[in-house]
């Protein structure tokens, strides 16, 4: 075994995906010399770009859009000149029809038909009157917001394809993590000031000219140029530790087993792999927790089609249970530079599976045959037009949020937090379904922690969901006095307001009657005698003043109570409308997050 001799023990980073490379880039900026171990032959992790005979394709589509200013600045700094703007276009295939996505009312209603549309509306109204009292599962969470029938139409089939388990076994906190800010306060902010937008509602996004791999290769180049190292074909196999510190990393590089001292370790490897690397082994309860965390894998079958334009979408979600494919990408529509032949189209047929199952172990030729048949069955291409193909398998693509994951993850977190020089980052490193911008933010913070900061990485996509949104809310708090919105939209006390209106009205007529009685009548002066036509027993006397007070108090009380009741009713309906509008805006492209 080869042992490195170094005066300054390095910052070791496992994994060259978005999180690991961002950590390395920030470490270089802070004057460190990080070493990144990547077992694959290219950088980018799950967000990499692969190529086949000059055709480039994503391992899952990756739009570049973020509300995190620091991440956006990094993208511009590293790849600004080769970013292109892409107009978003995506649809859902369901029951033989294509639906615009995000959903558009007229298109959805015309495809569903009048009867089904009415049933969906009735189901939605029913969910608002009789919601699930406790939102424990994904099914509960979505049904409470869309209604059971729309959930079964546009969410159930696709979600179960992605995760491989029934929706009533997926925890609601996964859905809540992916869609945030559905509060009444945020809805009112949006209505009054127009500053809040659902975090994925975009008509266009940035995209590297030849796929996201361009971005991560540039990160790699800059890390290497800054004195760091990104070492491909380097598989970390063991992490030695003692006294609560990781001391050495053992890895296999190009077939040779090597060892390196560690001062700080940042890992974006799956948290389950990280735990099994530890030497000595963790306690039995930690290893048991590792055994209970699960992942979904991903297969992409790339078909080269002898057609220039098959469909205008970047991707189509397949909600039909009759097709195994979950999503279809058209790489030309991400960027024309992804396809070298202008007379051909490159299609990615995406299949969600579990390592070792029937689809995962299927031969490439069989997968290509299935993908070709399903593309034809969907009416998108003729199998005879398929000129070539390739297949790529991605293990551990999505951490699964089943009923038990949270408890087991807590056991692992508690154990790993006992290592003072270890941080886990990224989607798999934290077993959290983060987007690439959130994964990058964890890497950025981890490098800063090595330099002396004290960031809590587990608050990313939780308390610090989007920094720009937090800043906007803070600006509003500075502009508005404390609890201004609460007071402005508080319910009006019907009894109190009615009593006040009645009392003021009664006193007004009581005093007016006494004043006119004392002054005496004069020609052309105001006269309240006409009130006797409406108030039985009224006259311009002391007794009449009390009669006027009684009648006008009752009238004012009734008017005030009715006014307060209607004000509360219409304000409540308005606020309910705002809240539901905010929810629907946030949820209408929720499928992107499945």
Give the C-alpha separation, 251 to 238, whole Å.
Answer: 7
The CATH number of domain 295-399 is 3.90.660.20: yes
- The per-residue pLDDT for 468 is 44
Question: Can you give the pTM of this predicted structure?
Answer: 0.77
Structure tokens at 78: 């590293």
CB atoms within 10 A of CB 69: 12
Mean pLDDT of the chain: 85
Same fold, 2-62+211-290+402-459 and 295-399: no
Structure tokens at 86: 């892409």
- CB contact at 8 A, 303 and 386: yes
Give the C-alpha separation, 503 to 518, whole Å.
Answer: 22
How would you list the strands of the sheet with 264-267, edge to edge? 229-231, 35-37, 11-14, 264-267, 422-424
CB atoms within 10 A of CB 259: 15
| Diameter of the chain measured on Cα atoms | 120
Determine the average pLDDT of the residues in 47-75. Answer: 91
Determine the average pLDDT of the residues in 123-150. Answer: 87
435 pLDDT higher than 70: yes
- The per-residue pLDDT for 488 is 58
- 281, burial (CB in 10 Å: exposed 0-12, middle 13-18, buried 19+): exposed
- 441, burial (CB in 10 Å: exposed 0-12, middle 13-18, buried 19+): buried
> Is the bond leading into 280 cis (omega within 30 degrees of zero)?
yes
- CB contact at 8 A, 562 and 554: no
Percent of the chain clearing pLDDT 90 (strictly above) = 51
Q: What is the pLDDT of residues 509-566, one digit of tens each?
A: 888 888 877 776 655 555 677 777 778 888 888 888 888 888 889 888 999 889 888 8
Give the C-alpha separation, 304 to 389, whole Å.
Answer: 6
Q: Locate the domains of the chain by residue range.
A: 2-62+211-290+402-459, 90-203, 295-399, 494-580
- The per-residue pLDDT for 193 is 47
What residues contact 525, with CB distance under 8 A and at least 6 apart? 516, 519
186 pLDDT higher than 50: no
470 pLDDT higher than 50: no
> Under CATH, which number does the domain 2-62+211-290+402-459 receive?
3.50.50.60
């Amino acid at each position: 075994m080869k042992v490195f001799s170094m005066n300054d023990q390095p910052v070791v980073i496992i994994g060259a995906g978005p999180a690991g490379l961002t950590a390395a880039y920030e470490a270089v900026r802070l004057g460190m010399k990080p070493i990144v171990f990547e077992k694959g032959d290219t950088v980018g992790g799950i967000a990499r770009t692969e190529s086949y005979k000059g055709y480039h394709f994503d391992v899952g589509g990756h739009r570049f859009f973020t509300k995190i200013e620091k991440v956006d600045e990094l993208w511009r700094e590293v790849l600004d000149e080769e970013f292109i703007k892409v107009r978003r276009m995506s649809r859902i295939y369901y029951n033989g029809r294509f639906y615009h996505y995000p959903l558009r009312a007229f298109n959805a209603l015309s495809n569903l038909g009048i009867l089904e549309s009415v049933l969906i509306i009735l189901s939605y109204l029913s969910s608002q009157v009789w919601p699930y009292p406790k939102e424990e599962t994904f099914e509960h969470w979505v049904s409470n917001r869309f209604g059971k029938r729309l959930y079964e139409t546009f969410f159930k089939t696709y979600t179960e394809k992605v995760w491989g388990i029934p929706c009533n076994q997926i925890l609601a906190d996964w859905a809540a993590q992916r869609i945030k800010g559905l509060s009444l306060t945020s809805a009112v902010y949006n209505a009054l000031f127009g500053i809040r937008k659902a975090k994925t509602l975009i008509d266009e996004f940035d995209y590297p000219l030849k796929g996201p791999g361009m971005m991560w290769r540039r990160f790699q180049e800059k890390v290497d140029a800054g004195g760091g190292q990104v070492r491909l074909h380097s598989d970390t196999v063991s992490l030695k530790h003692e006294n609560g510190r990781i001391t050495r990393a053992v890895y296999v590089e190009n077939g040779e087993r090597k060892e390196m001292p560690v001062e700080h370790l940042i890992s974006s490897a799956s948290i389950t792999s990280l735990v099994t690397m530890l030497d000595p082994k963790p306690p039995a309860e930690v290893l048991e927790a590792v055994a209970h965390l699960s992942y979904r894998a991903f297969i992409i079958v790339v078909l080269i089609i002898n057609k220039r334009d098959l469909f205008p979408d970047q991707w189509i979600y397949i909600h039909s249970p009759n097709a195994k494919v979950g999503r279809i990408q058209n790489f030309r529509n991400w960027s024309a530079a992804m396809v070298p032949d202008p007379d051909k189209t490159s299609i990615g047929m995406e299949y969600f599976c579990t390592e070792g199952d029937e689809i995962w172990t299927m031969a490439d030729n069989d997968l290509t045959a299935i993908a070709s048949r399903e593309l034809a069955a969907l009416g998108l291409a003729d199998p005879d037009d398929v000129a070539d193909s390739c297949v790529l398998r991605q293990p551990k693509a999505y951490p699964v949020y089943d009923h038990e994951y949270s408890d087991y993850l807590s056991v692992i977190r508690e154990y790993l937090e006992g290592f003072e020089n270890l941080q886990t980052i990224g989607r798999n490193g934290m077993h959290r379904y983060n987007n690439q911008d959130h994964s990058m933010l964890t890497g950025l913070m981890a490098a800063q922690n090595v330099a002396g900061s004290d960031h809590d990485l587990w608050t990313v996509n939780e308390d610090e969901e989007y920094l720009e949104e937090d800043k906007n809310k803070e600006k509003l708090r500075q502009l508005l006095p404390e609890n201004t919105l609460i007071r402005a939209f508080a319910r009006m006390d019907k009894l109190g307001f009615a009593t006040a209106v009645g009392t003021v009205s009664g006193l007004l007529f009581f005093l007016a009657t006494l004043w006119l009685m004392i002054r005496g009548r004069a020609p052309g002066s105001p006269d309240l005698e006409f009130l006797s036509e409406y108030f039985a027993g009224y006259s311009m006397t002391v007794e009449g003043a009390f009669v006027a007070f009684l009648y006008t108090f009752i009238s004012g009380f009734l008017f005030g109570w009715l006014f307060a009741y209607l004000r509360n009713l219409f304000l409540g309906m308005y606020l309910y409308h705002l809240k539901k509008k905010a929810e629907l805006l946030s949820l209408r492209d929720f499928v992107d997050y499945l």
